Chain A
Amino acid sequence: MPLFWLIMVVLGIAAIGFVLGRQRAFASAGGEIRDLHSLPSYYGWNVALKALVPAALLLIVWLIAQPLYVSSTVSATLPESAIPEGSTRGLVMAEVRRTSEGLENAVAEGLMDEGLARNARADFTDMTQRLKDAGQIVTAQITQPVLRAAQSFRVMNSTGYLYMAIAVIVVATIGFLFALRETHAEFRARNVVENGVRALLIGAASIAILTTIGIVLSLVFNTYEFFTLYPASEFFTSLTWAPSFSGRGGGSDLGIIPLLWGTLYISIVALAVAVPIGLFAAIYLSEYASNRVRAFAKPMLEVLAGIPTIVYGLFALLTVGPLLVSVFGDNGLGWMQSGTAVMTAGLVMGIMLIPFVSSLSDDIINSVPQAMRDGSYGLGATKSETIKQVVLPAALPGIVGAILLAASRAIGETMIVVLGAGAAAKLSLNPFEAMTTVTAKIVSQLTGDADFASPEALVAFALGMSLFVITLGLNVFALYIVRKYREQYE
């Protein structure tokens, strides 16, 4: 793995720089530490950082830029005739990439020598056969232009990585030498290093912004691409969800409404379970419970929040589903056909949400000033009357905020609905029927065999965009309410 060794080399240069910088500073002060402007290690850090940081930045930029550059160059050399009817340039490029990987692996395993892999005149039928023998290729036959493109792709990549290694090491060495040259007793090493560290800290903090930008861009671009293939009006208004996996494009009904309905229905069931239980638990814990009960019950409820959602999903599929079928199924009331249903997923999701509602409400109820309770008791109200008529109204905005946060969790939850809610998109009112949600369909559309450029796969990004917007809106609204409330008492 050359990249690994490249990183090791750069780290090595930085480590040597640290030692040499420190020594040089000492030497320039004649071994007298009091004559140095900064502590000796700052001189070392100065050299190490100047060797490391620019080289690392260059490495990251190069690693991102090179594949883009190589892909676009190779893609431009592909003649129009190389793209078969009904295919796209992107698909052919994927094929090129696979072939070049195949060549690379075949050379690595010694089944093909370097010369043959580069040979532009190589016979492509022979090449296909050799790659097949090496177990490297899945497609039936590589065509001449694809093979040529794959060869140039491979060569460009390997020369690119060679240049990258050289450039990175050169940059590291230049930084190293430059910093070593400026090292002398008068040099204000601490200030320089501290400014550098500060810049690194700002960079680390900006990753949050970069992540958001990344999310938004990846959603927006792919959603836009989806809407060029599939009309947006259909997506938002169609009442059926029926993706076809038979051919490429066409024949699919991709309406979001049935999915939104499923999401909403399951979330409502979940909240109907979680809100009463969570709220009463919070009231009991904050107003009635003794310290010992509280110290035991609160962590027990919070354990429910720490359990991975896959566990809840399996619990829904294998425990709750069959249980509900035995009560509401054909042998019981006859309302339920199979274990996966809105009720199953909603119930289990409700269990998962109990601690969200109870912890947040608990904090909010606790922050209602004691004076308000005392006033109520003074008028002769019982404890429950005080809670119902004084504490809860005062805490209401915060509790609503907590419920909204729980709702946004419910809408974004994936594993429970993938395993517990079923796969059929239906617009139905029966909670014992299988329905599906936005998140479950994102998983199924992106993990299936659908080709990545087809509307059937791209719709997942449009669904993700809708999900992102809805949950973000709910969160912002909830935080707004919570914050507004908090200002009243503090």
Chain B
Amino acid sequence: MTDMPMEPGRVKTSLTAADARTKRRNAAETRFKGYGIAAILVGITFLVVLAVSIIRSGVPAFTHTVMDVEFVVTQEEFDAAESELFKTQAYLQLFIGKLSTQLEEKGLEVEIDDAAIERLLGKVGSDIRDFYRENPDALGKPTRFELSASSRVDGYFNGRVTRETLVDSRFLELSDLELVDALFEAGIIKGAFNWNFITGADSGVDNPGGAGIGASVVGSFFMMLVVLCLSLPIGVAASIYLEEFAPKNRFTDLIEVNISNLAAVPSIVFGILGLAVFIQFMHLPQSAPLVGGLVLTLMTLPTIIISTRASLRAVPPSIRDAALGVGASKMQAVFHHVLPLAMPGILTGTIIGLAQALGETAPLLLIGMVGFVARGYPEGIVGGFTDPNSAMPAQIYTWASRADVAFYDKAWGGIIILLVFLLSMNILAIILRRRFERRW
């Protein structure tokens, strides 16, 4: 590089005043640093945009529009409705009749037409029927109902459906919105917290208002139970062997290579494995959280083994030496001294592995744990493992792939619940680490 400064026209200048070349180099320096800052800002912006869009789109799922009405159903009306062929339809008509008389009494100014009211309502017929079948005592007494409005009316209140975008259809007509506004003024239509979204099960494709994530939360819970009960002992045992006992030989190398490769295999391949081995070959029940748990166990094992080995390695050798020195066997030194000291690290790693498994979707779709399977709660503990059920991410996927846009709100709402679970697991892991971590 000795011939470099031979640029023509370069005059020596003072040290205090920067020459053109120095200025250029300094400008390049600033630019380069700017690129770095920009990259970080872009990354954080993405995160913020993601968070904002999740919260903005997800919150409507937790509220729904209800019609708050008090009315009386007499024994005769009940019997008449029960004798009809289409019972829920009969209850619907009954309700519409009650509502229109009430509205007339209140003297609302808009025109009330039964078909319009029917369009505003969700699936209320079965709700009323179920209530009176369970509580026959309530017949003849005034009862207050909060009946869910149709998903389009929901959309009107949270801004998804507006007067400009609404196209008249059999679901909702432009003129109905006048009625909605009037009912809202009268306090009959109002927003309420949607408990059904948290506790309910999936609904049919035509009833987005009735869809809830509760059943698939239970499915996810049983799956995580399987993952925890299998991957923690197996992962810890495998790590102890590899870290403390394994001789340096071909077999150990083979295991190591396998673990590092499995950690990078795409999750969908584990789904194929589950489908072929657990369902095709072993004939375990399809769509069962047990099978989902087995697949996710195999998927998370490498993660757990890698983090467990790191925490076993972090225990200083002097602990082992001291134990061996007072006469413990190798096994006793590991199980009585090294393992307890490594436990906080192991638990942290396990929780993070579980969180990863909780958010995994693709393998579950292949073994049949799709959302529409979660139509009810499983019966009993054993049923929780073997009854067809879904899991939170698979349920979200099912909602996202349905045609009715009202399900998109549910999908975002489901994501909020999923992220709440993930966040609390990660916070638990951080607390565990902070509380018990030891620096040697």
Residues of A within 8 A of B (CB): 1, 4, 63-64, 67-68, 71, 97, 190, 194, 197-198, 200-209, 211-212, 214-215, 218-219, 221-222, 276-281, 283-285, 287-288, 297, 300-301, 303-304, 306-311, 313-315, 317-319, 351, 354-355, 358, 382-385, 387-388, 405, 408, 411-415, 418-419, 439, 442-443, 446-447, 452, 460-461, 464, 467-468, 471-472, 475-476, 479
Contact = CB atoms under 8 A, between A and B. Distances in A.
A464 B237 contact: no
B258 interface: yes
A264 to B, nearest CB: 15
A447 B361 contact: no
B365 A311 contact: no
A207 B418 CA distance: 30
Most B CB within 10 A of own CB, among A71, A204, A385, A461: A204
Nearest to B335: A197
Interface in B387-418: 393, 396-397, 400-401, 408, 411-412, 415, 418
Interface string B39-53: 110111011011001
B264 A64 contact: no
Contacts of B242: 205
Given A277-B39, A300-B44, A311 B277 contact: no
A415 B276 contact: no
A382 B302 contact: no
Given A280-B39, A288-B36, A310-B361, A303 B47 contact: yes
A315 B267 CA distance: 20
Contact of B273 (A67, A214, A318): A214
A355 to B, nearest CB: 8
Interface string B18-51: 0000000110110111011111101110110110
B264 A471 contact: yes
A284 B39 contact: yes
A443 B365 contact: yes
Interface of B (DSSP majority class): helix
Contacts of A461: 272, 276
Given A4-B382, A419-B400, A201 B241 contact: yes
Contacts of A382: 25-26, 28-29
A202 to B, nearest CB: 6
B362 A301 contact: no
A281 B46 contact: no
A198 B331 contact: yes
Given A63-B282, A382-B26, A442-B272, A288 B33 contact: yes
A411 B266 contact: yes
A443 B366 contact: yes
B434 interface: no
4 closest cross-chain pairs (CB), A and B: A412-B266, A284-B36, A308-B359, A218-B276
Nearest to A67: B283
A211 B301 contact: yes
Contacts of B42: 277
A83 to B, nearest CB: 20
B255 A439 contact: no
A308 B361 contact: yes
A212 B43 contact: no
B254 interface: yes
A209 B281 CA distance: 19
B272 A297 contact: no
A202 B262 CA distance: 18
B29, B44, B50, B270 interface centre (most CB from chain A within 10 Å):
B50
B440 to A, nearest CB: 22
Given A211-B301, A314-B411, A358-B43, 18 more contacts: A201-B241, A201-B245, A215-B269, A219-B269, A222-B276, A281-B40, A301-B44, A307-B359, A307-B419, A309-B362, A310-B393, A310-B396, A382-B25, A411-B266, A412-B266, A439-B266, A439-B362, A464-B272
Contacts of B254: 209
Interface of B: 25-26, 28-29, 31-33, 35-40, 42-44, 46-47, 49-50, 53-54, 57, 233-235, 237-238, 240-242, 245-246, 254-255, 258-262, 264-270, 272-273, 275-277, 280-283, 298, 301-302, 305, 329-331, 355-356, 358-362, 365-366, 368, 370, 382, 393, 396-397, 400-401, 408, 411-412, 415, 418-419, 422, 426
B32 A387 contact: yes
Nearest to B426: A306
Nearest to A379: B1
B361 A194 contact: no
A285 B393 contact: no
Contacts of A280: 35-36, 38-40
Contacts of B262: 208, 211-212
A284 B36 CA distance: 5
A151 B210 CA distance: 41
B255 A1 contact: no
Of A63, A313, A388, A413, most buried by chain B (CB within 10 Å of CB) is A313
B266 A413 contact: yes
14 contacts: A190-B329, A205-B242, A215-B273, A276-B39, A283-B36, A300-B47, A306-B422, A306-B426, A308-B360, A311-B419, A318-B53, A382-B26, A382-B28, A385-B29
Given A311-B50, A385-B25, A211 B36 contact: no
B245 A198 contact: yes
Contacts of B47: 300-301, 303-304
Contacts of A219: 269, 272, 276
B362 A414 contact: yes
Contacts of A304: 43, 46-47
A4 B290 CA distance: 13
A471 B368 CA distance: 25
Q: Which of A218, A288, A303, A461 has the most CB of B within 10 A?
A: A218
Contacts of B266: 411-414, 439, 467-468, 471
Contacts of B302: 208
Contact of B261 (A300, A385, A472): A472
Contacts of B238: 201, 204-205, 207-208
Q: Which of B268, B280, B301, B411 has the most CB of A within 10 A?
A: B268
Given A201-B238, A308-B361, A419 B401 contact: yes
Contact of B301 (A207, A307, A460): A207
A208 B258 contact: yes
Contact of A208 (B233, B269, B282, B301): B301
Given A310-B359, A383-B29, A460-B272, A419 B237 contact: no
Contacts of B396: 310, 314
A460 B275 CA distance: 11
B99 to A, nearest CB: 35
A474 to B, nearest CB: 9
A470 B397 CA distance: 27
Contact of A205 (B237, B261, B356): B237
A325 to B, nearest CB: 15
B33 A408 contact: no
Contacts of B368: 447
Given A310-B396, A354-B43, A471-B264, A204 B237 contact: yes
Contact of B268 (A221, A287, A412): A412
Nearest to A380: B25
A314 B415 contact: yes
A384 B254 CA distance: 43
Contacts of A387: 32
Contacts of A415: 361-362, 393, 397
B29 A479 contact: no
A205 B255 contact: yes
A209 B298 CA distance: 11
B331 A354 contact: no
Contacts of B360: 308-309
A310 B414 CA distance: 11
Contact of B400 (A278, A279, A317): A317
A228 B273 CA distance: 21
